[in-house]
Structure 1
């Protein structure tokens, strides 16, 4: 199983200049992937900005949004942003998307919480059209350079519709930062949906787990703040690894579930958390 690390873009009041430094150190440490966890209505750095900073500061490590709330964006605009980040990175981006559930995240006029699932369905087709070089609104120009690739997508969420989107549009599934016993059914459902849809091979399965090794108290406070208005079953059960033993147990447990990758998401933005985690898992 591969081991990735999150960017601290979701840590409250993060210093934005930390992000490219974090990305470069994570690549040097040997992690497989750098991932974002983002919200609009929170004092952090947006997924697209954080991923662009990471793309420019690294050369080999994978990049992942885990997950970006796609229906909060105009579809064509997000497709262009994503294509640009992927291009800057040399084709290292995977777009992880979800529909979101909190009204305060939906700030663009006309793109509210209601109807977000249907909008995402339409937006997924728009992404493919934009990435394929289709003209913008029938005009003379495409939105992206010739040769832009179709960015691979993973899907997060707990509904049957999320799995339907995964098998139609995506390459796999992202599970939330919940204990293995709570996430295992979602991964099994993803595998089952993949088989029943007749997709070849197996879906890529990624899980998230928060960590705070040097300062567990601050990490716990940050995590509680981030999930303060989240659904109770998520807020009360989010996994936070605070000791070497917990990190190693998480790797063991998720390996036993047959997952492809675990992303350890930082609950603080202290740069020395990178070598602490690397010493345990890389």
Structure 2
């Protein structure tokens, strides 16, 4: 199982200049992936900005949005942004997509919470058209350079519709930062949906887990703040690893489930957290 690390882009009041240094240190430490968390109505750094910074600061490590709230964006604009980040990185980006559930995240007129699932259906087709070089708007020009690829996508969410989108458009599934007993059924459902759709092979399975090793209490405070408006079944069950044993246990449990990659998401923006985690999982 691969082990990735999140960027601290949605740690409350993150010091934004930490992000490129975090990315460089994570690549040097040998992590498989750098991942972002998507929020708008929170005092952090946009996932597209953080991914672009990481793309420019690194050369080999994978990049992932885990997850980006796609229906909060105009589809053609997001497709161009994602294609640009993927191009800058040399084709290292995977777009992790979710629909979102909080009204305050949907700030663009005409892109509100209501109807977000149906809107995403049309958006996914738009992404593929834009990445394929189709003209945008009423003019003759595509939005992206020649040679832009179809950026691979993973899907998060707990509904049947999320799994349906995964098998039609994606390469796999992202599970949230919840205990194994809560996420295992979602991974099984993803594999079952993949088989029933006749997809070859198996879906890529990625799971998230928070960590705070240097200052666990600040990490707990930050997690409570980030999830304070989330449903209690989510907010009350978020996994936060605060010791080497907890990191090792989470890694072993998800390896036992057949998960392909675990992403440890930072609960603080202390740059030394990269080294602390690497020393455990190396």
Length-normalised TM-score, structure 2: 1.00
Q: Which residue of 2 aligns with 1:42?
A: 42
Alignment partner of 1:106 is 2:77: no
Helix, strand or coil at the partner of 2:13: coil
RMSD of equivalent CA atoms: 0.4
CA distance in 2, matches of 1:19, 1:275: 15
Distance in 2 (CA, whole Å) between partners of 1:166 and 1:36 is 19
Tell me the secondary structure at the aligned position of residue 8 of structure 1: coil
- 1:13 equivalent in structure 2: 13
1:38 Cα deviation from its structure 2 partner:
1.9
Cα separation, 2, equivalents of 1:89 and 1:233: 37
Match of 1:181 in 2: 181
- Partners of 1:215 and 1:267 in 2: how far apart? 9
SS of the residue 1:147 aligns to: coil
Distance 2:157 2:138 in 1: 34
Structure 1 residues not aligned, in runs of 5+: none
> Offset at 1:84?
0.1
Q: Deviations over 1:204-232 (max 9, x none)?
A: 00000000001000000000000000111
Q: How does 1:123-142 map to 2 (within 5 A)?
A: 123-142=123-142
1:274 corresponds to: 274
How many equivalent pairs are there? 282
How much has 1:87 moved relative to structure 2? Answer: 0.2
- Tell me the distance in 1 between the aligned counterparts of 2:230 and 2:32: 29
Q: Offset of 1:151 from its aligned partner?
A: 0.2
1:158 maps to 158
Secondary structure of 2:9's aligned partner: helix
Instruction: Give unpaired runs (5+ residues) of structure 2.
Output: none
Normalising to structure 1: TM-score of the pair?
A: 1.00
- Separation in 2, partners of 1:137, 1:272: 46
Question: 3-state DSSP class of the match of 2:94?
Answer: strand
Aligned to 1:55: 55
User: What does 1:195-206 align with in structure 2 at a 5 Å threshold?
Assistant: 195-206=195-206
CA deviations on 1:68-117 (whole Å, 9 max, x unpaired) are 00000000000000000000000000000000000000000011000000
Cα deviations by residue, 1:42-62 (Å, 9 ceiling, x for unpaired): 000000000000000000000
Partner of 2:82 in structure 1? 82
Determine if the alignment matches structure 1 residue 218 to structure 2 residue 210.
no
Offset of residue 140 of structure 1: 1.1
Query: Segments of 4+ in structure 1 off by > 6 A?
Result: none
Deviation at 1:137, TM superposition (A): 2.0
Q: Which whole-Å deviations, capped at 9, do the CAs of 1:182-214 have from their partners, x for residues lacking one?
A: 000000000000000000000000000000001
Report the Cα offset of residue 138 of structure 1.
3.8
- Structure 2 residue aligned with 1:121: 121
**Secondary structure of residue in 2 paired with 1:84:** helix
